[in-house]
Amino acid sequence: MKEFAYRRATGVRDALALVAADPGARYLAGGTNLVDLMKVEVEAPTRLVDVRHLPLGGVGEAPDGGLVIGATTTNSDAAADPRVRRRFPALSQAILAGASGQLRNMATVGGNLLQRTRCAYFADPAAPCNKRVPGSGCPAVAREHHNHAVLGWSEQCVATHASDMAVALAAFDAVVRYESPGGAGEIPLAEFYLPVGRTPHLETALPPGALITAVALPGAAASPRSRYRKVRERASYAFATVSVAASLDVHDGAVRDVRIALGGVASKPWRARVAESALRGGPATAERFRAAAAEELSAARPLRDNGYKVTLARNLIAAVLSELV
């Protein structure tokens, strides 16, 4: 680990100013991802600006019937909030499917959104990696990529986004709120993560030095009939191989509304819009769920060793929707 300076920010303005003043500065929240990466020197900030104690925590009501979750709310608190559990159960389930109890007590909502990929080459400074060192190459495409992306990747990077929480947020059309030196702003989750393209090192649409302040869940997306299912290499404490967040509203046997997002398949939570529009208005049957899932996955480009994810994602979408009928 490289030596670094540490300051606890006294307020949002103070945090913004401290980070703006030092190009090597980074926000520190729970530290569960950042500090791990500092230990292996994948991250080497010169200054940490601790924002975990800023008054940005807690879950509040939004005027549209939705919820606003403060950026420093712990993963545990967000998952346990009764309103989250009632209106957005898939979000609570997604958070609880991640990491461990101890980690969720430390980790924050803002930090969770910005956690880095779990690609092993990314975490090994001895290996080339376009995300870590732009232009150095991507060993994963030709080498070990059993748990890498099948959708939306480029030759430059085939890593997945690791967050469970973000998958549920994508399904619910959440909006990320931030403050930045240039002013406050909002970014819909669908636009929050940038396409990989030729710039895998540029991960989000946040302006430089921006501090995430909250995540807003629109009231219109609230769905007690929503569910998160995560398949992984063991029963708990592992990142998703493939996961699905879905909500389903069926009326008279027909799909009135449906939301589907996939985790573990792309550099960002993958909103399955193709499958959604194939299903909307049609009958809610297992065959149609399967066909819609297959249509979504027809865009997949599996690598040598991760083709199973295409089958798994298709089966999992169909299984979760069937459970929600």
Partner 1 sequence: MPGVIGVVDHRNAPRLSPLAGTFFGPDGGLLMLQDGVVPYAGCPVALVVARTPEQAKAAADALPVTYDEQPHDTHFSAGHPAARPASTVFGEDANVGDVEAELARSAVVVDEWYRTPEEHCGAMELHSATAWWDGERLQAVDCNQGPFIVATGLATLFSLEPERVRVRAEHVGGGFGSKGLCGPQLVLAVMGATLFGRPVRVTMSRHQVFLMTPPRPATEQRVRIGAGADGSLRAIDHEAAFEVSPLASYVENCVEPTKTLYAAAAIRTRLTAVPLDILPPFSVRGPGLTPGSFALESAMDEVAERLGLDPLELRLRNEPAAGPVSGLPFSRRDLVACLREGARRFGWADRDHRPRTRREGRLLAGTGLAATAFSTGALPSSASITAEADGSFTVAVGASDIGTGARTALIAVAADALRVGTDRIRMRIADSDFGPAWAAGGSRGTASWSWAITDAAAKLRERLGDPERPVTVTADTTRVLGGLPPRERHAYSAIFAQVTADPATGEVRVRRLLGMFAVGRVVNPLLARSQAVGGMIMGLSMALHEEGVRDRASGRQVNADFAGYHIAAHADVPDVEADFVPDYEPDDPSGIKGVGEIGTVGTAAAIANAVWHATGVRQRTLPIRVDRVLEDDPR
What does the binding site for partner 1 look like in residue numbers (CB under 8 A)? 1-3, 41, 118, 120-121, 124, 126-127, 139, 142-144, 146, 231-238, 241, 308, 311-312, 315-316, 318-319
Cα(first)–Cα(last) distance of the chain, in Å? 51
Q: Does 107 contact ligand FAD by CB under 6 A?
A: yes
Nearer to partner 1, 25 or 316 (CB): 316
Report the SS3 class of residue 98. coil
Q: Which of residues 177-216 bind ligand SF4 (CB under 6 A)?
A: 200
| Shortest CB 157 distance to ligand SF4, Å | 3
130: partner contacted, choices partner 1, ligand FAD, ligand SF4, none (Cβ within 5-8 A by kind): ligand SF4
Which tokens sit at 183? 């002013």
- Burial letters for 185-223: b for 16+ Cβ neighbours within 10 Å, e otherwise? eebebeebbeebeeebeebbebeebbbbbbbbbbeebbb
- In total, the chain counts a number of residues equal to 325
Report the SS3 class of residue 283. strand
Nearer to ligand SF4, 33 or 117 (CB): 117
Which tokens sit at 116? 């880095």
Burial class (CB in 10 A: 0-12, 13-18, 19+), 148: buried
Kindly tell me which residue out of 16, 18, 25, 34 binds ligand FAD, with binding defined by CB under 6 A.
34
Q: Does 243 contact ligand FAD by CB under 6 A?
A: no
Kindly tell me which residue out of 130, 223, 241, 247 binds ligand SF4, with binding defined by CB under 6 A.
130
Applying CB under 6 A, the site for ligand SF4 has a residue count of: 14
108: partner contacted, choices partner 1, ligand SF4, ligand FAD, none (Cβ within 5-8 A by kind): ligand FAD
Helix (H), strand (E) at residue 305: none
Nearer to ligand FAD, 26 or 290 (CB): 26
Q: Does 9 contact ligand FAD by CB under 6 A?
A: no
For CA atoms 219, 220, 225, 227, the dihedral sign is: negative
DSSP, residue by residue, 210-271 = -EEEEEEE-GGG--SSEEEEEE-SSSSSS--SEEEEEEEEEETTEEEEEEEEEESSSSS-EE
Q: Does 32 contact ligand FAD by CB under 6 A?
A: yes
Q: Does 119 contact ligand SF4 by CB under 6 A?
A: yes
Nearer to ligand SF4, 81 or 203 (CB): 203
Nearer to ligand SF4, 253 or 307 (CB): 307
Picking from 195, 176, 197, the residue whose alpha carbon sits closest to that of residue 187 is: 176
Residue with tokens 């940038």: 194
Positions in the binding site for ligand FAD (CB under 6 A): 26-34, 36, 51, 71, 75, 98-99, 103, 106-108, 110-112, 114-115, 162-165, 211-212, 239
Positions in the binding site for ligand SF4 (CB under 6 A): 117, 119, 121-122, 129-131, 138-140, 157-159, 200
